[in-house]
Structure 1
C-alpha cells in the first residue's frame, strides 16, 4: 500500500506538466480572440492522460484523482483505508504541483487568472454554482459510465489490453472536458475539473475567489460516483 500511495503522490505531482499545460492553454484561450486554441486543451488532456495512465495503472491503479479513488472504494476494488491514503497523497501532489507552477508563472497572469485554478465567477457574469454542479455531475458520470465501466471489468480489460483501456479512459476524460468548455463558453469557469485535488491546490495557495463555489468540484463528482455505483448494482453480475 505504501508503494502504491507513493506512486499516487508522485504521479499526481508529475502531472504538473498536465496541470501546467492546461493552465497555460486556458490562459492562451482567454487571451486569444479566436476559438481554435480551445482545441489545444482536450488534445493536451488525451495525450498526457494516456501516458500517465499507461505508466501508473500497473503500479497503483492509476487513479490520480479522488474521484476515481472514491468510486474504486465504493466498488470494493480498494479498501477504505487505502482510499484515504490515496486521496491524501493526491491532495499533497496537487499542492506540490501548483507550488511549481506558482514559481514559474508570470505574476500578472497569476493574479489575473488566479493561478489557473478551478473558478466559478461570483460576480454574476459567469456560470452559477448550480449550473457548475450540474456540469461537474454530468461530466463525471460520463467518464464513469464510458471509462470506469470498462476499466473495472476484468474480462473486458483482458480482451482489450492495457493500452486500449487507458485510451478509453483518456478519451472519456477528454470528451467530458471538451463538452463542459463548449457548453459554457464563459469566463470564470475553466471546464469540468474531474479532479477535486487539482482544484484544492490553487485554492489553498491563492485563496480569494477560488474558494467561491469550491464545494461544487467535490460534491458534484462524488454525487456522480454514488449515483453511478447505484446504477452498477442494477447491472447483471459480471458486467461491472
Structure 2
C-alpha cells in the first residue's frame, strides 16, 4: 500500500506538470508568432488599407514613368542650345507634384530605393516593402508600355525608350560600367542624405510642412540628375537612374543596349542605401546647441567675463 500510495503521489504531480506545460507551450508559440508577425508585418496582408496604398504606388509609378519620360525625351529632342539643362527642371517639377499628391496616400515612394531604405529604417514593414516594390515594377512596365504605343519609333530608338543606358546604341559610346556604378552610388546617396534625412525626421517634417519636404526631396533628385548628365559629358550615357523600377520597365519592353550594365542601376542604389543606413545610425539625434554669446577664438578677453570658478578652471587647464 505504501508503494501504491507513493506511486499515486508520484503520478499526480506529473499529470499536473503535463497540464501546466501545455498552456505554457501554447503561450510561447503565440508570442513567437506575434513577434514574427510584428517583424515581417505579415498581418498587413489582411489589411485593405495596405492594398489600397499598394494600388496607389502602382498607379503613381505608372503615371510618373509616362509623364517623366515623355518630358525628358521632349527636352532632349528640342533644338535648344543645350537641351540637357532643361531635364533637371522637368524632373524637379514633375517629382514635386507627384510627391505632394502621393505622400499622404501611400508615402510617395514610387521607387524601390525609398521603399528599401524605409524598410531598413522601420518606416514600413518587410511585407509592405515587398508588395510596394512589386507594385512599382508593374507600374513601371505599364507606364512604359503606354509610352511605347504612342511614341514615335524613331524617338524610341534614338533615346532607347527613355530607359537607363550607359552606352547608348553603340558600345563605343557612354561610360564604363564601374564608372556608372560610382555615379549611381554617389547620386543616390546624395538624394538619401538630403531628402530622406529630412523626410524621415517627424519633428522637422511637421515643422516645415508637407510642401517644403516635397520641395527638398524633388530638389535633391533634380540635383542628382543634373550632376550625372553634366559631369560625365558622354553622349551614350542616359544619366543616373535613381529608380531601379524605372530602368527595368524599358529594358523589358525595348531591350537592346538597356541590358548592358543593367545591374549597375540595382547594385548602386542598394549600396547607397546600406551606406546611408549605417551613417544615419550615427547622426545626431538632437539639434545643434549654439553658444549664447559669440567670441573670437583668438581673443582671450572673453575669459574675463566668465564666472570665477569657470575662469579658474580654464586657467588650470591652460
Report the alpha carbon displacement of residue 213 of structure 1 after superposing the two structures with TM: 0.2
Distance 1:94 1:24 in 2: 19
Count of residues paired in the alignment:
235
TM-score, normalising length: structure 2:
0.71
1:17-44 CA distance string (max 9 Å, x none): 1122123323x16xx5732x22221111
2:57 counterpart of 1:11:
no
Gap regions ≥5 residues in structure 2:
1-49, 288-318
- Residues 153 and 238 of structure 1 are in contact (CA less than 8 Å); yes or no, is this contact kept in structure 2? no
1:217 is displaced (CA, Å) by 0.5
For 1:56 and 1:226, the matched residues in 2 are separated by 25
Q: Which moved more, 1:184-193 or 1:49-58?
A: 184-193
Gapped regions of structure 1 (runs ≥ 5): none
Residue 141 of structure 2 is aligned to residue 95 of structure 1 = yes
Is it true that 1:46 corresponds to 2:100 in the alignment? no
TM-superposed CA distance for 1:109, in Å, is: 2.0
Partner of 1:237: 285
2:235 is equivalent to residue 171 of structure 1: no
Q: Which moved more, 1:122-131 or 1:216-225?
A: 122-131
The equivalent residue for 1:221 is: 269
Q: Which TM-score applies when normalising by structure 1?
A: 0.94
Structure of greater relative contact order (alpha carbons < 8 Å, 6+ residues apart): 1
Tell me by how many angstroms 1:173 deviates: 0.3
Per the TM alignment, residue 197 of structure 1 is displaced from its structure 2 partner at its CA by 0.4
Moved >4 Å (runs of 4+): none
Displacement, 1:238? 5.7
Distance (Å, rounded) in 2 between the aligned partners of 1:114 and 1:222: 24
Q: Distance in 2 between matches of 1:163 and 1:112?
A: 36
1:162 to 206, 210, 213: 210
Distance 2:245 2:176 in 1: 21
Say which SS state the counterpart of residue 185 (structure 2) adopts.
Answer: helix
Task: Give the whole-Å Cα distance in 2 for the aligned partners of 1:177 and 1:226.
Answer: 21
Matched with 2:113 is 67
Give the RMSD, CA atoms, in angstroms: 1.4
- Once the two structures are TM-superposed, the CA of residue 148 in structure 1 deviates from its matched residue by 0.3
